[in-house]
Chain A
């Protein structure tokens, strides 16, 4: 099952703006980001499923869109 993932800020420099991920839940997506894209653990990001930010592992459905947002510090 391919989930559509959109990433923002410096994450999109690593993963590309939009990519497909074969995952069942958001924990698997986090593991994929470490393994496939080598995102270091000290890079923090929020995970939103269908524009709602989640704080726990969440099951994903085929038509879900996941957004990954890192913090920006500039001002």
Chain B
């Protein structure tokens, strides 16, 4: 493609008042890392690629599943089972062959965040769990990089621009909103709470808009503000954020401290009574032990060992089960089972021992 094609590709935005060739050049020179290629990541990646953001990194350790497709329009039915990051990068190259796109087919952790983020100027949080949100926010603060944040719950979404000077010159982070991470128990994810496909689509496009505004300087970003949007009413509210003293006290102050934090534990997504495949089989030999699949009824693959099904969404009607002393809960990847184990411990106290299967069925099936 020659220069004329490039001009034509971006002609409709270059002709915008206040955008021009200058705005396009800023996008071409920008380096943006999108963390999570799911419901939010899909539109973010598509729009940033189409707008001509010169370098896009995509980090996601998950594979494409059938239940993703109602909201992750970057992917098609043929893509099921493929790496989200790799497949998203393939699509980006088709959308816009002139830009550089790098795929990182692993989850961002506090052990790899510093190295991964260093090659990018703007970080976009499209993740789906608190562990990732806190570790991404803390890394952005320490590396002094703007963070464009979004999150959804059922029919509502939140968008914010963190670590970017607001009207008072202050840099607000995610920790200022919620200094201490909520327990995984208290905030259901999309698998349990459900989500209408258009919601992350809308919120992701708002997030991409903030990235483009940050890069080009157009309009007013959500720096120091949080937008809440409700698709049921199209009601929106923008809140002014303020720095929290507690957040400053709790956040890590340097890389060493950051990398030493156990974010999984901090965000309540680990469980002390965690067991692996071998322990599971040993324990199931005991007739006082039962394994319970807490996934929703439509989720696959089926577990190969003896179990019953009680989806987490109906745990309020959990039976007493006097015939069992030990309960092993499991789910797809080991996140919901932590919640389930916590709920059952609250219910049964010392009457029963509750365990959860590390990394869920995915982990179980990956072990030979």
Contacts and interface: CB of A to CB of B under 8 A. Distances in A.
Given A42-B182, A46-B178, A75 B242 contact: no
Nearest to B228: A8
A71 B152 contact: no
Contact of A73 (B151, B180, B237, B239): B151
B26 to A, nearest CB: 27
* Residue with the greatest number of chain A CB neighbours at <10 A, chosen from B133, B178, B187, B189: B187
A18 B355 CA distance: 40
Interface string B259-299: 00000000000000000000000000000000000000000
* Residue with the greatest number of chain A CB neighbours at <10 A, chosen from B127, B156, B185: B156
A69 B128 contact: no
A43 to B, nearest CB: 5
B237 A51 contact: yes
Interface string B186-218: 111110010100001000000000000000000
A10 B240 contact: no
A64 to B, nearest CB: 14
B241 A9 contact: no
A73 B36 CA distance: 13
Interface string A1-40: 0000010111000000000000000000000000000001
Nearest to B38: A75
Contacts of A59: none
What is the interface residue range for chain B against chain A? Answer: 35 or more
A55 B156 contact: no
B153 A74 contact: yes
Contacts of A42: 182-183, 185-186
Contacts of A46: 177-178, 226, 239
Interface in A44-75: 44, 46, 48, 51-55, 67, 69-75
Contact of A75 (B41, B182, B226, B245): B41
B333 to A, nearest CB: 15
A71 B130 contact: yes
A71 B246 CA distance: 17
Given A42-B182, A44-B186, A72 B245 contact: no
B128 A74 contact: yes
B177 A53 contact: yes
A74 B242 contact: no
A72 B127 CA distance: 11
A48 B241 CA distance: 9
A53 B238 CA distance: 10
B245 A55 contact: yes
* Residue with the greatest number of chain B CB neighbours at <10 A, chosen from A43, A69, A71, A74: A74
B110 interface: no
B54 interface: no
Given A43-B182, A53-B242, 13 more contacts: A8-B228, A9-B153, A10-B193, A42-B183, A46-B226, A48-B240, A52-B240, A53-B177, A55-B246, A71-B177, A71-B187, A73-B153, A75-B151
Interface of B: 36, 38-41, 125-130, 133, 150-154, 156-158, 177-178, 180, 182-183, 185-190, 193, 195, 200, 226, 228, 230, 237-242, 244-246
Interface of A: 6, 8-10, 40, 42-44, 46, 48, 51-55, 67, 69-75
29 contacts: A8-B228, A8-B230, A10-B154, A10-B188, A42-B183, A42-B186, A44-B182, A44-B186, A46-B178, A46-B226, A46-B239, A48-B239, A48-B240, A51-B237, A54-B242, A55-B242, A71-B130, A71-B151, A71-B182, A72-B158, A73-B151, A74-B151, A74-B152, A74-B153, A74-B190, A74-B195, A75-B127, A75-B150, A75-B190
Closest 6 CB pairs of A and B: A72-B153, A75-B128, A72-B151, A74-B152, A44-B182, A74-B190
